Amino acid sequence: MEFIKPERIWIKNHPELNEKWVQDIIAEDPSLLGLGDLVLKDKERIQPKAGRLDLLFQDSDSGRRYEVEIQLGQTDESHIVRTIEYWDIERKRYPQYDHCAVIVAEDITARFLNVIGLFNGNIPLIAIQMNALKIADKIALVFTTVLDELTLGLDEDEEEAEVTDRTYWETKKGTKETVALADQLLNIVHQFAPGYELKYNKFYIGLAKNGHPNNFVSFRARKGYLILHIRLKQSDDVQKILDESGLDVMDYDKRWRNYRIRLTRNDIDSNDEMLANVMKMAYENFGG
C-alpha cells in the first residue's frame, strides 16, 4: 500500500476555502466533531444584541444542546468571550435543556488552554482543533478534542432528591412494555449481583441495593425501546464486543463515560449472555 504524506493547509489563508465552507461541512456531517449522535438545529442563529451563533446541535437521545463556534487561525480572547456568551444566552432562553459550549479552531494555543482551563468544569466547554489536510487534489478535515469538559454530574444526595416512580416512566417517558425491559435486564444482573432493585429517578432508571444507589448500569425507557447505559471506560475490546453483537450501539457518551445500546425484547433475548458479560464487567469495575 502506497504512503502519501498529507500537506497541512490553513483555511484562514486559503484563497478559495473559508469559514462558511467549514460550517457547511460540519452541518452536513456533525459526527465529524465526535460529540455523539447530533442533529442540526440551526445555522447562523441570531443572538439578541450579540451577533450570530455559527451552529447549534442537539443530541438525538439526551436532548443536550451544543453551541458551536468556528474560528479560523489561532484562538483569541474575543472568541472565548463570544463562545461563552452564546452558550449563556441559549441556556437562559431554553433552560429545559442541558447546554455545552464548543469552540472549533485551526490552532488552539497553549495560552488559550491555560485561560479556559481556569473555569472548565464550572462552564461546560469543549475545545476542538481542526486540521485541514491536502491529499492530492482533495481536502480532508480532521477534528481532535484537545480540551474536554470535566464531568461534574449529580452526587448520590442529588439523585435521591430526583426520585420518581414506575408510573412516571411508563406514562411520561416510555411505556409499560419498554420499562419491563429494565426488569428483564435486572434479572440478568441478578445472575452475578443479587439483591439489586430498580430505582426510578427523574432522568434515568438506576439500581440500588439496600437503599443505596449503585449505577454501574442504568436505563432510559423510550416509547419504542430501552437504552441501556453501561458504565465502562472506553476501550477497543469492549467496542469490538458490542460491534460484533449486531445491536444498535450508540456513540460512546464521553461526558458520563457510558456505553449506550438501544434494545428491544428480541435484542435482549438474543444477546443475554453478551449483555451479562459486559454488565458484569461494569459491576466489577465500579460496583463489585
Q: Which domains does the chain have, with CATH numbers?
A: 7-147 (3.40.1350.10), 156-287 (3.90.1150)
- Are 78 and 103 within 8 A, CB to CB? no
Q: Is the pLDDT of residue 111 over 80?
A: no
Q: Given pLDDT bands bounded at 50, 70 and 90, which one contains residue 257? A: confident
Question: How much is the average pLDDT of 198-206?
Answer: 92
Q: Is the pLDDT of residue 160 over 70?
A: no
- Are 135 and 116 within 8 A, CB to CB? no
Q: Is the pLDDT of residue 262 over 60?
A: yes
Give the angle subtended at the CA of 205 by the CAs of 202 and 208, to the nearest 5°. Answer: 110
Question: How much is the average pLDDT of 43-63?
Answer: 86
- As a whole number of angstroms, the distance between CA 69 and CA 92 comes to 18
Q: Which amino acid is at 109?
A: T
pTM value surpassing 0.85? no
Q: Is the pLDDT of residue 183 over 90?
A: yes
